[in-house]
Amino acid sequence: MRALLPYLALYKRHKWLLMLGIILAIVTLLASIGLLTLSGWFLSASAVAGVAGVYSFNYMLPAAGVRGAAIIRTAGRYFERLVSHDATFRVLEHLRVFTFSKLLPLSPAGLARFRQGELLNRLVADVDTLDHLYLRVISPLVGAMVVTGVVTLGLSLLDTTLALTLGGIMLATLLLLPPLFYRAGKPTGEALTHYRASYRQMLTAWLQGQAELTIFGASNRYRDEMEHNELVWHEAQRRQAGLTALSQAVMLLISGVAVVLMLWMAAGGVGGNDSPGALIALFVFCALAAFEALAPVTGAFQHLGQVIASARRVTQVIEQKPDVIFPDGAQSVPEQVALTLDGVSFSYPNQTQPALRGVTLDIEAGEHLALLGRTGCGKSTLLQLLTRAWDVSSGAIKLNGERIETLSEATLRAAISVVPQRVHLFSATLRENLLLASPAASDEALRAVLKRVGLEKLLEENGLNAWLGEGGRQLSGGELRRLAIARALLHDAPLLLLDEPTEGLDAETESQILDLLADVLKAKTVLMVTHRLRGLARFNRIIVMDNGEIIEQGNHAELMASKGRYYQFRQRL
């Protein structure tokens, strides 16, 4: 239960809306109980009056009460659902934002041990499961307890013994059945959470790895494993459904016993009256209706095990301490950036071999550098260190002579633009994807930057309202790269880091992208990681890396004259 405390604390932000939902639920339950109780008494009293030959019977008041209770129940149910679900969605929104805000500082070090599918499942499915806490546990339990108290107090005005008997049975049911079914359902709930996460992770991997699985003939075997996992998941769901049916059967049995007991006791007299007449129906129908308020409670506590398991899974991620901590405060963003790397070394966690070994490099403001080397030589790692995705193991990285550890996150992000190798576009409009880089940019500025990078044709049909779809599937590789450059220009940072911007492009498109970079980024400091050799003569310096070290550097002419590693690369073209 302790795993739920941090999330219960988040509910305080919406406490008034949640309380209103509970109050409306209680009003609805009481109206439902009042409707059935009053209707049962009214019909019985009318029948008794007719049999006894009573000609003066006030039917107007109870009839009005029945109508009033029916109207209150209908309206109360509507507004209770409206308020409760609105409150739940607001809580879920808060939980998602809270969870995601905890995940961001952990990336990438704290999230490296989690697979993408597993992280997605924890962020979406496990957080969604936490809404059961209010809708299925807190609200029904509070409502049932209040209803028990009100029913007992109300019936005690007619007969204390009968009221205490019914109230005692209801209270005992509330105290005994929920813990009993929580214990019975806890293993199944935890298993459901585990199997659901495992299946979704396998499904995500299967969808992403279709090509590789098919090429190596492992698609059928992987599909069989996934189907086996699904069958186990279904079996856990069947066990939980069986427990739900059992809880409902037990509740029906207890309510039946309570009704029979009320009938037997009321028949002996109510409030000292040996001929209670229609009051017998009042107690019987009140017992029937009152147990409807208790019905959701036992089933709700079966889901508590699943909620707790989901809370633990989310907590396991968000309670990690970030490896990279930024200082508070804001500094001014420089107009130009000079970079200094002084003996930078770095090793990934649990790796024996360092990714970088004593890298020392001075980059002047406005200088354009290309980082060249084989895959795994440390090029992309160097870019990640510049953005403080990781902190250096030893040495120092400085921007304009100031260590980057002293810069706030906002300042560092404002000083650097990154064009990644894999460009991500959201399933949204062209405008929304561009505004990620500069939320305050006008439509005129967005159109201007698209024209600057040669994407005028994207404005032809729907303009900035054009829907790009998931991942921008209708765009070519070159267009995706140009969009990434457009976002970098909108961000307008003095330092630009490019990670394989021409990877996977044909020669003509690659040449166009390099010409574009040379044209639009003249005044910026540029560091481009690549293993392609086309267009490197445009750069002020070329840095050749191998095994985490800089083995040679210079411009194109100098490196060709020295006939070192760069010269050997060129000879293989």
**Amino acid of residue 510:** E
Q: E strands along 349-468, which residues?
A: 356-363, 368-373, 394-399, 402-403, 416-419
Strand segments, DSSP code E, in 312-380 are 339-346, 356-363, 368-373
Structure tokens at 39: 């209707």
Q: What is the identity of the amino acid at 483?
A: L
User: Omega of the bond prior to 494 within 30 degrees of 0, cis?
Assistant: no
3-state secondary structure of 554: strand
Q: How confident is the model at residue 26 (pLDDT cuts 50, 70, 90)?
A: very high
In the chain, where are the structural domains located? Answer: 2-318, 339-571
Query: What distance in Å separates the CA atoms of residue 89 and residue 19, rounded to the nearest whole number?
Result: 15
Q: How confident is the model at residue 470 (pLDDT cuts 50, 70, 90)?
A: low
So what's the pLDDT on residue 463? 82
Q: Which of 123-132, 156-165, 242-251, 253-262 has the lowest mean pLDDT?
A: 123-132
pLDDT in tens, 418-454: 888 888 888 888 889 899 888 888 989 998 888 888 8
One DSSP character per residue, 175-226 reads HHHHHHHHHHHHHHHHHHHHHHHHHHHHHHHHHHTHHHHHHTT-HHHHHHHH
Which amino acid type is present at position 502? T
Task: Tell me what percent of the residues of the chain surpass a pLDDT of 70.
Answer: 96
What is the pLDDT confidence band of residue 53, given thresholds at 50, 70 and 90?
Answer: low
Is residue 152 very low, low, confident or very high in pLDDT (cuts 50, 70, 90)?
very high
Q: Are 309 and 193 in contact (CB under 8 A)?
A: yes
For residue 74, the model assigns a pLDDT of 92
Angle among Cα 389, 395, 401 to the nearest 5 degrees reads 85
For residue 58, the 8-state DSSP code is: -
Nearest residue to 418 via CA among 377, 387, 463, 376: 387
- The CATH code of domain 2-318 reads 1.20.1560.10
The radius of gyration of the chain's CA atoms, rounded to the nearest angstrom, is 35
SS3 332: coil
Residue-level pLDDT at 504: 67
Q: Are 251 and 298 in contact (CB under 8 A)?
A: yes
Q: Does residue 54 surpass a pLDDT of 60?
A: no
Specify the pLDDT at position 200. Answer: 82
Q: Residue 188: which pLDDT band, with cuts at 50, 70 and 90?
A: confident
Tokens of 493: 């940072």
What's the sign of the alpha-carbon dihedral 156, 157, 162, 163? negative
Distance from the Cα of residue 120 to its chain's centroid: 7
Mean pLDDT of 329-352: 84
Give CA–CA dist 529/371, Å, rounded.
Answer: 5
Distance from CA of residue 507 to its chain's centroid? 41
| Integer Cα distance of 566 and 376 in angstroms | 17
3-state SS, residue 373: strand
Write down the residue that tokens 């070519």 correspond to: 476
What is the structure's pLDDT at 427? 83
Question: What are the tens digits of pLDDT across the range 255-311?
Answer: 999 999 988 988 888 877 777 778 888 888 999 888 888 888 877 777 777 788 888
User: How far apart, in whole angstroms, are the C-alpha atoms of residue 540 and residue 536?
Assistant: 9
Separation between Cα atoms, residue 410 and residue 528, nearest integer Å: 23
Which letter, b or e, does each residue of 394-403 get, where b requires 16 or more Cβ atoms within 10 Å of its Cβ? ebebbbeeee
CATH of 339-571, one of 3.40.50.920, 1.10.150.20, 3.40.50.720, 3.40.50.300: 3.40.50.300
With residue 551 as reference, give the H or E element that holds it.
strand 549-554
Position 471 pLDDT exceeds 70: no
What pLDDT score does 169 carry?
92
Q: What share of the chain is helix, strand, coil (3-state, %, to 5)?
A: 65, 10, 25
* Helix, strand, or coil (residue 491): helix
User: Could you tell me the pLDDT band of residue 50, with boundaries at 50, 70 and 90?
Assistant: low
- pLDDT of the residue at 345: 92
Query: What is the per-residue pLDDT across 93-149, written as a single tens digit (0 to 9) for each?
Result: 888 888 888 888 877 777 777 777 777 777 777 777 777 778 778 888 888 899 999
Q: Cα(81)–Cα(494) distance, rounded to whole angstroms?
A: 53
Q: CB neighbours of 317 closer than 8 A, spacing ≥ 6?
A: 99, 102, 103, 106, 110, 111, 114, 119, 122
By the 8 A CB rule, do 530 and 502 touch?
yes
Task: Please compute the mean of the pLDDT values over residues 381-407 and round it to a whole number.
Answer: 89
Neighbours of 50 (CB within 10 A): 11
Long-range contacts of the stretch 24-27 (C-beta < 8 A, 24+): 24/76, 24/79, 24/80, 24/83, 24/84, 25/80, 25/84, 25/139, 25/140, 25/143, 26/142, 26/143, 26/146, 26/147, 27/72, 27/76, 27/80
Query: Measured between alpha carbons, how far is 129 from 142 in angstroms, rounded to an integer?
Result: 20
How many residues make up the chain in this entry? 573
Q: Which of 344, 341, 359 is nearest to 551 (CA)?
A: 359
Token code pair at residue 367: 């200088």
Identity of the amino acid at 318: I
In 3D, which of 416, 403, 412 has the Cα closest to residue 343? 403
pLDDT digits (tens, 9 = 90+) for 538-569: 888 999 988 888 999 998 888 888 888 888 88
Helix (H) or strand (E) holding 386: helix 379-386
Whole-number Å distance between alpha carbons of 488 and 56: 87
Whether residue 211 has pLDDT greater than 90? no
Mean pLDDT over residues 228-242, rounded? 89
pLDDT > 70? residue 14: yes
Across 120-134, 377-391, 409-423, least confident range: 120-134
> What would the mean pLDDT of 172-191 be, rounded to a whole number?
85
SS3 state at 339: strand
Closest listed residue to residue 200, CA positions, set 301, 81, 111, 117: 117
Whether pLDDT at 206 is above 80: yes
Instruction: Report the b/e string of 104-125 with b at 16+ CB within 10 A.
Output: ebbeebbbeebeebbeebbbee
